[in-house]
Structures are given as structure tokens and as C-alpha cells.
Structure 1
Amino acid sequence: MVNFGLVLAALLSGASASPHRARSMHVLHRRDAPPSGFVNSGAAPDDHVISLKLALVQSDLSGLEQKVYAVSTPGNAEYGQHLSKEEVEDLVVPSSESVSAVNDWLASHNLTSQAFSPAGDVRSVNLTVKQANSLLDASYSKFTNQKTGSTTIRTLSYSIPADLKPHVNVAYPTTQFPSTSVSSQGLLVSSSRANGNTARALLDSCATSFTPACALELYSIPTDVPSQSDSRLGIAGFTDQSAGAADLKAFLEKYRPDVPDSTTFTSESVAGGVNNQSDPGVEANLDTQWSVGIIGPTVPVVFVAVGDDDGDGFFSQLPAIVNGLLNDTNPPQVLSMSYGLPESFIDEATASSICSGFAQLAARGISVLTASGDYGVDGGEDPTLCHEFQVEFPATCPYVTAVGGTVSQGPEVAWNSSGSGFSGYVPVPAYQAADVSAFLKTLPTDYSTGRFNTSNRAIPDLAARADFVEIVAGESQTGTGTSASTPIVASIFALLNAELISAGKSPLGFLNPFIYANKDAFTDIVTGKCANPGCNSEGFNTTQGWDAISGVGTPIYTKLRTAAGL
């Protein structure tokens, strides 16, 4: 990024052994201890290779945010005028001074970087642990996940030269910790061979087994929307999950016999991801089966298999898919993600950097929906150890739509483990500020003290049924989780986009301003509470209007269609 000048260059060249040590270092982030569930297992091997990402200061982040809300807020003169790939990149490209400064710093350690993001605001450096310790004044160690036994390489503190502070926002993986957890708990309560059903029998069984046919009826979703190939729905595939085409065929035969069983999905690869047909996964099958099961052949569904070159699971795969979509000239207009990790596992700067990628997708008119989580207010952390309510990331990013869960065919009830709560980092966005304020007034006056920040972003934004059926390796299975809720809602908005595009209109894009401006297009969920709260509390209750369990409620397609101007 910056050129340090002849005097500094002379000092560096004249120093012996470790010239970088002559520079004053600034601690960029430090944590006192690893997250609960991780234990230090000793120093990391010096020769272990790390793919270090450096997030540089972007040229006009405030301008990007302004554009996101301008093109996404109903009633704004620029509503629907989404930006091009190049226009977005112009807003976030780092200054040449920043690039030079960082490259000079790396060169002093005999290292080089490559652009990781399309705009070059995130750069990638491959280096050994020994080199990383020297570069970042760090102490990388092995940390063992006590639940899984897996080991990750992290440091509890890292620094950059003080003169680079105006140029570098964050480096990772450093003090951030990974999670390979899928948002859905995927509880298997039964398993049997798949057999066919009639459409009437499927509807008659909705009280005991929730299927795509039940979702069509519950949310007034039409089955006669004309096919629209220009509207695509992307399904994110992380943690080596693969989606089985044969299982989808069996799923349609059993649960959507009115849909041709030849209806399927395509696959795309990001960062070397592979969709292995011989090893279908519970999560990937759930997402693809419910998406195709709801939208049928109307909207093409693409399964995006994300590789794990860094061996860090979801933590490294999340920025990989964001940058993969940003680099795509024709990405899916809607992306469904059923994964998350506790927000406290990463620091605010890392969350902000990844969230900036979602803002860029929002500016381009891409709707991103993610599961709010399956652990109530403990966010997947040990509920006996947490003192503050925990939430999942990226659900807390204000540029994604967080989907909570419900149960019961009618009236719906908030699912008692639906991910709920308030971000520890992100201020409450304007689109939900009034609704969150009204909800907070329903709580005891001292309820938030020490538990959550009432001034911050709250989740979920909306909800849908969390109980599901699916087929994996020919076996019918059932379970519960917001992983099921997310593809339902994503499919609804993909269908709306299909209608909008066919009518010559722009797709909805970033959804949250539209959702909160049209709350009457949702069924308000007023029954249920967070009964899996942890943290020595009662969690949250549902209320009239937005609440921190079900958001604004569950979608009503016919009313959303009207709200969208169709």
C-alpha cells in the first residue's frame, strides 16, 4: 500500500537479520482465551502453511452502503437500479498507496500477495507458521475442538506495523475460530424406505409430516408461475456436503408427484468444491430437495459446492463463496445458506470485512438468506458457560436476511430453539429500528443488562416452518432446524423474482428494507417462546409485531406479490 520513503528504505536495508523488527508494531486484535470448547494443544508446527487473508481499507465503504439502501428501499428514486460488477468494485477497490504499503511490508519478509477478492480489497498470502509468527508478531498454536477432536491453527494475538493501521483492517485466520456446525441440528426421528404418495394424501398428512405440498398450501405459493431461466436460486454447499440427484428424484416422486421427476439442479464449483454423487449429505439434500420441491421447474436451482483448500471448514468457505459470486458476471439472484458459527468466534473487524462482501452482493441485486441458528439465545456455545446471549454469524450481518423457524401447520408457533437475539457488533439498521424498539418495550426494564446490546442488529428478520422431511441415500428422514426454513423462504423470493423478471421488472435484490416496509404481507407469529435459552435466562417470547424469535412472521405469497407490484 504506502511507499515508506527513502529514509525508511535505507534503515530497512541497513538492518541485520530481521529488519521488520525495527518497525513499531500495533496490536490489531487480541483475545484473552480461545472460545469455550477449544483448548490449546501446544505450538503449531513451523512448517504448517497458512493462507493468510489481509482485508485492506476500502476506498468508499460509506458510498457502497448508501447505494445498497438506495437501490433496495421501496419508494427510493433508485429502487431496483442495481449496480454492475464494475460499479461495485470501483466503490471498494483499495488505494494504490495501500496496496504498495502492504506489498512493501510483505516484501521485507520475502513474501508476496495476490488479490483474493475481485476488487483486490482482500489479498491472500501463503506462508508458513514460522513466517506468520514473524510477520504478525504472533504465536500460532494448535487448538483442539473438544466436541469434534479436530485441530485448528490460531493465535490469540497479532500485530501489524503501526504505519499500516490506515491501510489494513484485519488479517485472518488469526484470532478468529472456525465452526463446522450446520445451522440445522438435523435431528433424525424416523427413517424408512421412500414410497410414493398422492397429492391428496400429502395434504392430509400436513399435521404430522410437513412436506413441500404443505408449504405450498400454508404460504399460498402458486404452482403455475411460468418458467423463467433468468431467475436463478443458488444453494450454498459447505463442509464437504454434496447434493444427490438420485435422492432428489425420489423426493419428488414421493412428495411432489405433480412435478416431473426429471426436474433437477445444476452444480457449480467455488474454490475447488466438488458435488460428489456417491456421498450425498443431510444438509445439501435438504436444501436442494426443498428448493426444487417448492419451485419445481419454474426457476433453475444451482448447487454451489465450495471447496476447503485452507482446511478451515465454514470459516474459510464463507468468504470464498462471497468472492466467487462477486467474481461472477451472472450470479444467482437469490442465495440460500443454512450454515453459521457463533458470532463471538470472530472479532468485529473480521465480521465487518466479510459483511462488506454481502453489501457488495446486495448492491448488485442479490438476495442472501441465511439460517438464524438452532440454539435459541446461546448461539451454539456451551449454554452452561455463556453469560451473554449469543447469536450466529452471518445472520447478524445487516445485508443478509436471517430466517427463523416455526412449527405447526396452523396456527404456526415459534420453534423453541430458533436462533434469536442481538449482534454484539453491528448497530441496529434503520430498516428495523422502529420494530426492534417496540419489541424491547415488551421486555422487563432490566432484562437486557449484561445479556445483550439493545442498540444492535436483531435477528431473525422473518421465519418459516423448521420441521422437514427429506431423503438421503434412499432413506426418508425427518428433523427440525432453521436449515429447512431458509430454502423455503429463498424459494418464495426466487419465484417472486421470476414473476418480476417476466414482467420486465428488476428482481427484489437485498430484501430487508422491502420486508420491513411490507409487514402486512406476513403472518404475525404470536405464540411460542425460546425454551432452549441457556445463559440462565428465559430467552425471548413472541409478541404482536416483530419479535426476536420469528421476526415479522411467515410469508404470504399472494400479499408479497402485491407488495412487489405484480
Structure 2
Amino acid sequence: MKLTVAYLVATFVALCVAAPAPSSYVVHEKRETQLDKWIKRDSKLNKDSIVPVSIGLTQRNLDNGHDFLMDVSHPDSPNFGKHWSMDKLKATFAPAPETIASVKSWLAENGIEDGRHKVSQSETWVKFDATVAEVEALLRTDYNIYTSKDSGEERLACEDYSVPAHLKQHIDFITPTIHFDAVVKITKKKRDLVTRSPRVRPSTQIKSGQVAAQSDLSFPLSTCDTYITPDCLRVLYNFPNGTLNKSSYGIVEYTPQAYLQDDLNLFYSTLTPYVPQGTAPIFDSIDGGVLQTTEEDFSLNGESDLDLEYAISLVYPQKVTLYQTGDLEVGASFNNFLDAIDGSYCTSGGGDVTVDDLDSTYPDPAAGGYKSKDCGIYKPAAVISTSYAYNEADLPAAYMVRQCNEYLKLGLLGTTILYSSGDYGVAGNSGQCCVNPGCEGGTYNDGGSGTFNPSFPGTCPYITSVGATQVKSGTAVTATQPEEACETVIYSGGGFSNVFPIPAYQLLAVEAYFLLHKPTYTSAQYNNSRVTRGFPDVSANGANYVIGINGQLGLVYGTSASSPTFGSIITLINEQRAVNGKGSVGFLNPVIYLNHGAFNDITSGGNQGCGTAGFTAVAGWDPLTGLGTPNYQKLLKIYLAI
């Protein structure tokens, strides 16, 4: 009798050392991350248990993707702003017929014929259910059960796996394999919303205590060094109130994070009375996304309240869309969101195993879980801001590259993608630093020292990464008075990727940085090869934001504040372009790296972490504030001229 994966724990686990592969097979992936976080169990594995397998197929024309994107994003291109249709996107990047046929033939040769597998709607995945024994034979590997040192959760995984040499070019990666993505026992009990952490971590931090309980305070511009408000930001970055509703702006949140309407109303009445009470975002629910209000706490409401209070107020009357992603049972990750706005992408899903550390699987088999999968049901906004992040070191390279290519495709559609750069300086989430140079092995030091730990997707070259600044103490805010790198409560995330090569648009800026301001750190502390992507690209204020939170006014800090603020400025530029008969600006980086003068250069402050002072803000681009903070009027002039 065939048994489900839920039976695995009770019956087996063996040592997971890949079996020798025949000469026609080559190793496709080998685990190089999270080596110290999981312990192999030593019981015997039941070879008849069923696992759902997904094969990510190599897409066509990705080798030309960069050139395609530059063609519609570079200011010197005659095709600037001539963004693609979804149909053109799908047709250009769909896997070649040869890819699909070759993989299906391989499966058939191993007893997995057409009736047992299916090709996804997007034609980018082949999916099937098979026994452990079948998958081990197919991939020339051995599976084991691993226990998380942190959570005690158990996962089905292997150390490496192989595919026929002639298929390597046709396959991106296969799950479940090395990624600790298959949950062995499905938990039917709903997770505790108070203690549960999202898959991807929000950046917002709160300082103990509230500004005030009453809502009749005034915050003059003379106090912007201690209380940041929408009026402060308008002066700092030289932009006006919104007057139009001619573009689109999206904010991404991950359940159980949820805004509270009463908090939004408190913010409006205190700081932005021009926004009517009850104003709420357009609600796009993805994979069961819900605004839970059973539990109310800063850890559950702070991120969403911050993002939406500032995004809505800075672009009003432009409507803001909230992409609320993931149900209350298994939550979600970036790929779940991407599935919903681009049907040409849709990742794997379904079956008896849930994907936890990487992506959540829908339909969700848990009791009360979302019983569908949202694929291509929403249109991407012209600007999308996300204030969550992973560590590069926690993810397989193939996974990050595939997702990064999706941001490239969204740029082709005309969408500006913004991600906050992180709040722990040169360290990763919660101040994690790597043991090994290059973060090889994905192992961390507990003591806050070690190798710098860059974040993802901030290091993807097809998004715009946003760092954090602060108003200098005792300084009056003006559009020409530069700030400093944020060193209050948080430190702006920044550094250099260990995965992605330096993009051409950034090459001169990074070369100038190393030529004039080369750090004294060695390759044991960060990737000083000068050939990898640096981040962030830009910055905006990230300290002392006044928000309505749980019925009171509080102060928050983080690049979570910086990203939606920067996105609001780009949204206002898109609206002015619309008035002039022009489309959205799309992917920003090729234009902004050629126009340093449109930014306020930040030349003081640092982003300490990992037992060091981190990097220092200097003249020109640097790996903690990027090009600096925006001057709306200068950027608008540039974008109206293209």
C-alpha cells in the first residue's frame, strides 16, 4: 500500500549520502546552505511513501533578458518606456518545445509516463507524484529526514541529486531535493499568531514608548530630526502633495501582518487631514491572504500600518493596492506573490507536502487552509514596494537566480520593483553573520561577529534596493540639506552580493567607490572581488517615523519606512508622465545611475555589524546609502525628458 509523506516520520530515515551516479548523469545541485541548522535522523526511510515532485524547466531567451530590459529602460534607447505586453512576455520566455519533450521523455523512460505527470499552465514546471524509491532512482540520490535545530520541524531532503548530462541545460532545479522544503508531517493546528515569524522578515523596528496617546498633536518642521511626518518628507525630497489618480502603486504584505483601519484613521486625523477617514487600500487577496484582527500587536500590525499610512498619504488621491499574501495556516513568500501577478511564472504547488522554508504550497492541505492556488489573477502595479527580506546565505543560488529573472520580466512589463535593504548594517536578519567567507555553507555565528551577510532580493540586479538615512540632530530640513546614514535604532543594510555579478549600469559607480574609498576589510569579511552586485541603489529617511499603531502614536525605524516613501515619489513621477502622454518609468536603475545629480549625496554615517564599523558613507555611491536620497523635481525633469 502506498503511504503518504505524513507517515514518513513513524517509519524511516537513513543516512543521506547520494548514490554513485552513472557516467551519463551529472550532479545538478548540491547543498551549500544551512549546513549547521539541520540534523539527520538515523531511522529507516519507507521507500513506498509518496512525494510530489516539481521540475523547474529552463526558460528560453533569459540569456537575452538583460538586453531586452535595457532596451526599454536605458535613457539612450529609442524604445525607452515601450514596455511589453504579457502575451509577448510569455511567448518570449516560455521553455522551448525541446525542453519539455526531453524532460517528458526522460520521465517516461523511468516509468513516469504522460498519465502520471502534467505540465503547468505556464509551461515552466513539470509535476508528478512518485514514491521515494522512484525519485531516488530517477535522481540518483538518497533521501533522509532532517530535524531543524531551531524549530524541531522535520523535513524530507537529500544532500545532492543528479540528472542526465543532456538534460542539465533544460532543468533549473527540482523539488523536493536539497532545499529542506518538504514538511514531513503536516501540522493541522493553526500556528500561534503572536509568536510566529513570517517566512520573509519585515524590517520595521519600534522604540519603546509612544509619541502620545492623543491625536491632536502638531509636528512642526523644526522637529523633523525627532519626528518624521509626511510634511517632513515632502520638504526633504522636494515633492508636492498628490493631485491625480493616473497611475498605480502596490504594497506587499505577508499574513499574519495586517493593518488596522482605526490606526490608519488616527494617522489621517493627526498628520494628513486631507485624507478622508475610512480611506483604505484596494485589497487583493493572494492565496488566502486575510486581514486578521484576532491578535493585535506591533509585531503583527506595525509593518502594514507603517507601509500603508505613508504610501496612501504621500500619493493621495492615487489609490494604493495592498497585495495581502498567504493564509493563516502556512503563510507565503515572494514566489507566492509573484505567481499571482504573472501567470507565466507560477511555481510548483499541490500534493501532500508543504513548502515551508522557501515557498508555501497551495492548495493548502491544512485544516482551514486556502483550497486553491492564485496564478496570474492580478495585474502588477506600476510601482511595487516590499519591506521584507531573506539572507542570501539561506537560499540556493538556483532559486534566487530564477526569482531574480522574474523581477527582470516585471521590469519589461513596466513595473518598478523596490525592496528595503535591511536594518542590521552589514549583518543579515536579526544581526546574523556568516562563519565562512562568502557565506559558504550558510552557517552563522551567534555572537554577532563574522563575515558580512547580504540580503536577498536586495542583491538581485533587476530590483531597486532602498537603504535608510536620518535627519542630522538639530538640523532644519530642506531639499538641499543632506541627511546622514541611519544610525538610530537601525543601521542601513548594504554590501556586496555573493551570488549576482555586477550589472553594467552599476559598474562605473562601484569602480569609483573602490578606487577612491576602498574599505580595509579583507575577503574573509566581505566579497571584495569588485565583480559582484553592490546594494542598496538609493536611500530615503528611515528613522523616527510617526505612525498610528494599536490606537496610539508611535515611532518606528527601518528601511521598511524608506522603501514605501521612495516608491511614493516614483508614483508621483509616473502620474506626471501620464499627464504628458508617457508610460510608467519601469526599471529605474539604468536611468538613476546615469543621473547622480538627481540625488542628495550622503557622506556621513556607517552601517556597523558583524563586529565591525561596517561601511562608511562617502562621496558618490556607497554600499549603505547607494546614490543617496531623491530630489523629486530633478528626477521629474529627467523622466519627463525621456
Decide: shared fold, TM above 0.5.
yes
Equivalent residues in 2 for 1:14-33, closer than 5 Å: 24-31=24-31
User: CA–CA distance in 1 between the matches of 2:206 and 2:132?
Assistant: 39
Change (3 A) 1:188 1:445: closer
Alignment partner, residue 175 of structure 1: 178
Query: Structure 1 residues 519 and 45, CA, compared in 2 at 3 Å: closer, same or farther?
Result: farther
Out of 283, 296, 300, which is 2:316 matched to?
A: 296
| Counterpart for residue 117 of structure 2 | 112
Shifted more, 53-62 versus 311-320: the winner is: 311-320
Q: CA deviation at 1:50?
A: 6.2
- The worse-fitting range, judged by mean Cα deviation, of 482-491 and 169-178 is 169-178
Q: Return 58-67 or 392-401, whichever deviates more.
A: 58-67
Matched residue, 1:517:
594
Deviation at 1:512, TM superposition (A): 0.7
Deviation larger for 231-240 or 183-192: 183-192
Aligned to 1:395: 458
Q: How far, CA to CA, are the matches of 1:483 and 1:132 in structure 2?
A: 42
| Residues 9-88 of structure 1 mapped to structure 2, 5 A cutoff | 24-31=24-31, 34-40=34-40, 52-88=53-89
Q: Could you tell me how far apart the structure 1 residues matched to 2:129 and 2:135 are?
A: 9
Contact kept, 8 Å, 2:467 with 2:538, in 1: the verdict is yes
Match of 2:576 among 487, 495, 499: 499
CA drift at 1:383: 2.6
The residue that corresponds to 2:14 in the other structure is none
Cα gap change, 1:233 to 1:376, in 2 (>3 Å): same
The question of 1:358 aligning with 2:407 is answered yes
Verify the 8 A CA contact 1:235 1:337 in the aligned structure 2. yes
Contact preservation (8 Å) 1:42, 1:142: no
DSSP-derived class of the 1:302 partner: strand
Residue 633 of structure 2 corresponds to residue 558 of structure 1 = yes
Partner of 1:186: 205
C-alpha change, 1:495 and 1:39, in structure 2 (3 Å) is: farther
The alignment partner of 1:513 has SS state of: helix
Name the structure 2 match of 1:16: none
2:244 to 227, 244, 258: 227
Cα deviation for residue 432 of structure 1 reads 0.8
What residue in structure 2 maps to residue 139 of structure 1? 143
C-alpha RMSD of matched pairs (Å): 3.1
In the TM superposition, what is the alpha-carbon distance from 1:475 to its structure 2 partner?
3.3
| Pair 1:201 & 2:219 matched | yes
Q: Which amino acid aligns with 1:405?
A: A
Task: Kindly provide the CA deviation profile for residues 211-245 of structure 1, in whole angstroms up to 9, marking residues without a partner as x.
Answer: 2222122112201x4322x4111111124322333
> Residue 101 of structure 1 aligns to which amino acid in structure 2?
S
Q: CA deviation at 1:84?
A: 0.6
* Maintained 8 Å contact 1:405/1:550: yes
- How far apart are the structure 2 equivalents of 1:491 and 1:525? 21
1:161-560 correspondence runs (5 A): 161-172=164-175, 174-176=177-179, 180-191=199-210, 194-197=213-216, 201-223=219-241, 225-228=242-245, 230-279=246-295, 281-297=301-317, 299-307=318-326, 311=330, 313-314=332-333, 316-317=335-336, 319-321=338-340, 323=342, 327=376, 330-380=379-429, 382-383=432-433, 385=435, 387=437, 388-408=451-471, 410=475, 411-416=482-487, 417-444=491-518, 447-450=521-524, 451-452=526-527, 453-467=529-543, 468-531=545-608, 533-534=609-610, 536-560=611-635
Between stretches 53-62 and 511-520, larger displacement belongs to 53-62
1:9 is matched with none
Determine if contact 2:286/2:323 at 8 Å carries over to the other structure.
Answer: yes
CA contact (8 A) 1:57 1:121 kept: yes
* Inter-CA distance 121–401: structure 2 relative to 1 (3 Å threshold): same
Residues 76-85 or 273-282, more deviating:
273-282
- AA partner of residue 254 (structure 2): F
Partners of 1:368 and 1:530 in 2: how far apart? 24
Normalising by structure 2, report the TM-score: 0.76
- After TM superposition, give the deviation of residue 564 of structure 1 in Å: 1.0
Q: 1:492 to 1:135 in 2, by over 3 A?
A: farther
Over 3 Å counting, the alpha-carbon distance change for 1:126 and 1:506 in structure 2 is farther
Q: Deviations over 1:320-357 (max 9, x none)?
A: 35636973574211111111111122222221111111
Q: Is the 8 A contact 2:256 2:328 kept in 1?
A: no
| Contact 2:404-2:462 within 8 A present in 1 as well | yes
Q: CA deviation at 1:423?
A: 1.0
Aligned to 1:4: none
Q: 2:66, 2:250 → 1: CA distance?
A: 24
**SS of 1:425's equivalent?**
strand
| 8 Å contact kept, 1:272–1:307 | yes
Which is further off, 453-462 or 473-482? 473-482
Distance 1:445 1:259, change over 3 A: closer
**Structure 2 Cα separation of the partners of residues 325 and 28 of structure 1:** 24
CA, structure 1 residues 160+553, in 2 after alignment: closer, same or farther (shift >3 Å)? same
Alpha carbons of structure 1 residues 83 and 367: separation in structure 2 relative to 1, 3 Å = same
* Unpaired segments ≥5 residues, structure 1: 1-20
Q: Mark the CA change 1:432 to 1:181 in structure 2 (over 3 Å): closer, same or farther.
A: same
Give, in angstroms, the shift of residue 271 of structure 1: 2.7
Corresponding letter in the other structure for 1:96: P
Cα distance in 1, alignment partners of residues 176 and 328 from structure 2: 13
TM-score scaled by structure 1?
Answer: 0.86
Secondary structure at 2:99 match in 1? helix
* Contact kept? 1:55, 1:123, Cα under 8 Å: yes
User: 1:448-500: per-residue Cα shift (whole Å, max 9, x none)?
Assistant: 42320320111000011112232333233322211111101111111111111
Asked if structure 2 preserves the Cα contact closer than 8 Å seen for 1:542 and 1:550, the reply is yes
The match for 2:366 is none
CA pair 268-464 structure 1, distance change in 2 beyond 3 A: same
Distance 1:520 1:443, change over 3 A: closer
Which has the higher mean CA deviation after the structures are superposed, 260-269 or 180-189?
180-189
Residue identity (%): 29
* Cα shift at 1:293: 2.2
